[in-house]
Amino acid sequence: MGLFNRFEASQLDVLKEVGNIGAGNAATALSRLLDKPVDMAVPKVSLVPFDEIAERVGGSEQVVIAIFLRVEGDAPGNMFFIVEEPSAHRLLSQLLSMNVDDPHEYNELELSALCEIGNILAGSYLSSLADFTKLNLLPTVPSIAMDMAGAILGYGVLQYGEMGDSALLIETKFLEGQEALQGHFFLIPDPESFSMIFQALGVSME
């Protein structure tokens, strides 16, 4: 775990700033889309080992909804926006005013609405990272799946090949009334992309 030990507070501050600006852009974009104010809390930003991703969303057997896409350009990688079922349900009913008849099943319209939220978040965080790093980072069209977290991550590995062993985790909270709706956003740079991103951020990997 040498990589994680080498990070100092000042280096994580750069990542927090990326998360902050991304969250601000996402809130603005969602407000426009929904034609109502959307508040997002300051996100928690951390680096986690790849094998801890499932734990962060409730364990590998936790049923989740995941929007995932490939990042292309100067620093390729993979992105997942993972929401646990209760949060997905509340996102649809509170943010989008959609009534979900069965919390364990989603129709095409509901999935497409969740996919669009994931897409907006991905675009906002990626453009924030691209602004900071001056790298060209382009998201592909997202896919959406509902399954156990372990299966979704396994499918991502099958689909996209070997993943990097570290993920940038941005814990996103939408604030609606008293209840916060939480989503977990993971950027998993390909092994060779990790140092490129951090060098571009002015963070030494030595």
Backbone torsion region of residue 30, taken as left when φ is above 0, otherwise alpha when ψ lies between -120 and 50, otherwise beta = alpha
Does residue 193 form part of some domain?
A: yes
Does residue 13 form part of some domain?
A: yes
More confident residue, 97 or 111: 111
Confidence band for 76, pLDDT divided at 50, 70 and 90: very high
Decide if pLDDT at 134 tops 90. yes
Does residue 1 form part of some domain?
A: no
Give me the pLDDT at residue 1, please. 42
Does residue 206 form part of some domain?
A: no
Give me the pLDDT at residue 157, please. 73
Domain residue limits at 121: 7-200
Number of domains in the chain: 1
Give me the pLDDT at residue 205, please. 58
Give me the pLDDT at residue 9, please. 62
Does residue 178 form part of some domain?
A: yes
Confidence band for 126, pLDDT divided at 50, 70 and 90: very high
Per-residue pLDDT tens for 192-204?
888 888 888 876 6
- Mean of the pLDDT values across residues 169-180? 77
Decide if pLDDT at 37 tops 70. yes
Does residue 205 form part of some domain?
A: no
Across all residues in the chain, what is the average pLDDT?
83
Give me the pLDDT at residue 177, please. 61
Decide if pLDDT at 206 tops 60. no
- Mean of the pLDDT values across residues 163-181? 78
Give me the pLDDT at residue 202, please. 76
Does residue 132 form part of some domain?
A: yes
Which CATH number fits the domain that encloses residue 17? 3.40.1550.10
More confident residue, 86 or 177: 86
Does residue 123 form part of some domain?
A: yes
Buried b (16+ CB within 10 A) or exposed e, 17-55: ebbbbbbebbbebbeeeeeeebebeebebbebeeeebbe
